[in-house]
Structure 1
Amino acid sequence: MILITGASGNLGNAVIENLLKEVTASKIAGLFRNEDKAKSLSEQGVNVRIGDYSNKESLAKAFQGVEKLLLISSSGDDALTDHKNVIDAAKEAGVEQIYYTSGALNRNIADSKLGPLVDSYITTENYIIESGITYTIFQNGLYSETIPFFVGEEVLETGIYLPAGNGKASFATRTDMAEAIANVLASDGHGNKTYITSALPSYSFKEIAEMFSEVSGKTISYTNPAPADYETQLRASGIDEGSIWYAKLLAAIIKNGEYEIFSSDLEKLLGRKPTDLKTYIKQTLLS
């Protein structure tokens, strides 16, 4: 049995949809916090398991009979505790292999700006490795689907306003990441391996502005404001405080070069070239 946590989320659902092309539904399970969100997958024959990252006992019960478990990173306030609960419950339930969606990061950065994301990525990776359970780690880059979050809905009129400096980041579509992860889950030979599941090359937002210019036929500028000015503008636009905090954190990480990668396994795992960022922008954002 292959179990996908976060099965009602965008990535978890996409992984299951891809798995259904390679594995019979009876061999797939999804972890949900409640049955209401499980209906569509349940109707396809996917097993429904109820559990919550914050409730270790519910997880241990949900993981019974599971051989392969995909841990999709928690978006909760205490991601590390959530992840430890999943890993400990998996070990208790006899899960043979844990697969984890981490972050594709430039590990050569001496002074990291990751802050709380350290626990969501690096600390969790180490905890899994130290658990002794066979593991496979997917170091995912940023989703191409986050571009609207960074550039705003009126990018063609206002340009890109983001305090990311000249820092570069890697992007891949959620669809490509999900397909690559499903391919690994459906096959063998991936024990104790780490894969970088993002696309090359990495881009600065000045280069992304140039992409928008090229595909739109307009001149799209990139402005690198001071973080305080950026925060002021977001607040004036009615953005909630949580989103402002997250946007500033991601911009600082990108500016520091922490999402810039120089190698990738995505094409190998897909068996084809991933969707490049310019194509995504042209087909999805400017269609």
Structure 2
Amino acid sequence: MKHKILVTGASGGLGSLVINLLTKKTEIENLAVLVRDETKELAKRYKSDGIEVKTGDYANKKSLIKAFYGIDILYFVSAGDDHQRVQLHENVVNAAKEVGIKHIIYTSGVWKDETISSSIAPLVASHKQTENFIKSSGITYTIVKHNLYAEVIEMLIGNKSQLLKTKTIYLPTASGLSSFVPKKDLAEAEVTILLNPTTYANKTLEFNGSEPISFSEIANKISAIVNEPIHYFSPDVTEFKAEMNKFGLPNHVIEILSTFSLAIAKGEFDQQSFDLEKVLGRKTTPLSKFLEETYK
């Protein structure tokens, strides 16, 4: 049975990977994308490829209702605004319920300590609330809880040029492990779900990388790639914040770096479930390969 699939976040990294994979696996007429601005270059490209482009904003429920008509399956990429996410996501779920969407695939996040006492609760507790909105709506769902994107590594430690200047990874992550996942692996698995929705109906899956890794190990791997010694140093968080202030980083950036570093140190992202491997039918992309592509 053919379903009309709407991909939100289609102008972002994950959403664009999903839609590009879908175009290779199903007919174009089965696909639609949601964008906020249809005059943007990527939106124009989707339209020229024959993909239906719908305009809508999570902050505007009426625009979502209009965009969701005729859609069977909603690929719901979470909003980036941590402070407004709960209200934005409630709009999405309510609009989906109002127009009769049959199945929501929602990109949530993993964290071990799912309580308000967790250091990352202010940033990720909204995912838990969204999951509850979806389950209460009566719409068939698949919740995919993402571990940290492998692409976050470069955000945390800098690009190749920056690393070669300092030859140091400086983060208060201690010896904490994270099961990083490249976005392309997540996209591949979630396309499988989108094309086989009944197999994953009303399931919550944890999508972790196959290889939990510390930043000390990441430093060693990057050293081998760039043929330079990259050292790892884990300061206490007070020293880290002070050093980042000296470099002129904005306070909100320092807080995000500190929060996620401490969460990594506490093992929040050291998850061992194999749901992603089962959906992919293989292990996730080795971190060595991902780091080589990023830092070669």
TM superposition score category, shorter chain reference: over 0.9
- For residue 109 of structure 1, report the CA deviation from its aligned partner: 7.9
Residue 67 of structure 1, aligned match among 62, 72, 76: 72
Q: Which amino acid aligns with 2:55?
A: I
Q: Provide the C-alpha distance between the structure 2 equivalents of 1:16 and 1:198, rounded to a whole number of angstroms.
A: 21
Over aligned residues, Cα RMSD in angstroms?
1.8
Q: Which amino acid aligns with 1:206?
A: S
Letter in 1 for 2:276: L
Task: Indicate the SS of the match to 2:104.
Answer: strand
- SS of equivalent to 2:142: strand
The equivalent of 1:118 in structure 2 is 124
For 1:118 and 1:238, how far apart are their aligned partners in 2?
Answer: 26
* Residue 265 of structure 1: aligned partner: 275
Structure 1 partner of 2:22: 19
Q: What residue ranges of structure 1 are gaps of 5+ in the alignment?
A: none
By how many angstroms is 1:184 displaced?
0.9
TM superposition shift of 1:123:
1.9
Between the aligned partners of 2:96 and 2:65, the Cα distance in structure 1 is 6
Pair 1:239 & 2:245 matched: no
Aligned length: 286
Are the equivalent residues in 1 in contact too, given 2:225–2:292 (CA < 8 A)? yes
Query: How many Å apart are 1:110 and its aligned residue?
Result: 9.2
Aligned residues of 2:7 and 2:34 also touching (Cα < 8 A): yes
Aligned residue number for residue 104 of structure 2: 98
Aligned equivalent of 1:173? 182
In structure 2, what is the equivalent of residue 194 of structure 1? 204
Report if aligned partners of 1:32, 1:51 keep a CA contact under 8 Å in 2.
yes
TM-score by length of 1: 0.93
Structure 1 counterpart of 2:260: 250
Gaps of 5+ in 2: none
Matched to 2:182, the amino acid is T
Alignment partners' CA distance in 2, 1:83 and 1:258: 24
- Residue 267 of structure 2 aligns to a residue whose secondary structure is coil
Partners of 1:145 and 1:257 lie apart in 2 by 19
* Residues 1:275 and 2:285 aligned together: yes
Kept in 2: contact 1:63–1:89 (CA 8 A): yes
Q: What is the DSSP-based 3-state SS (H/G/I as helix, E as strand, rest coil) of the residue aligned with 1:144?
A: coil
Question: For 1:259, what is the secondary structure of its paired residue?
Answer: coil
Q: Secondary structure at the match of 1:244?
A: helix
Equivalent residue, structure 2, for 1:41? 46
Residue of structure 2 in register with 1:155 after alignment: 163
| Contact kept in structure 2, 1:4 and 1:16, CA below 8 Å | yes
Once the two structures are superposed, residues 165-198 of structure 1 have per-residue CA deviations (whole angstroms, 9 ceiling, x without a partner) of 2221111111111111111101231100122222
2:216 maps to 1:206: yes
CA distance in 2, matches of 1:28, 1:221: 47
Q: Percent identity?
A: 39
Residue 33 of structure 1: how far off its partner (Å): 0.7
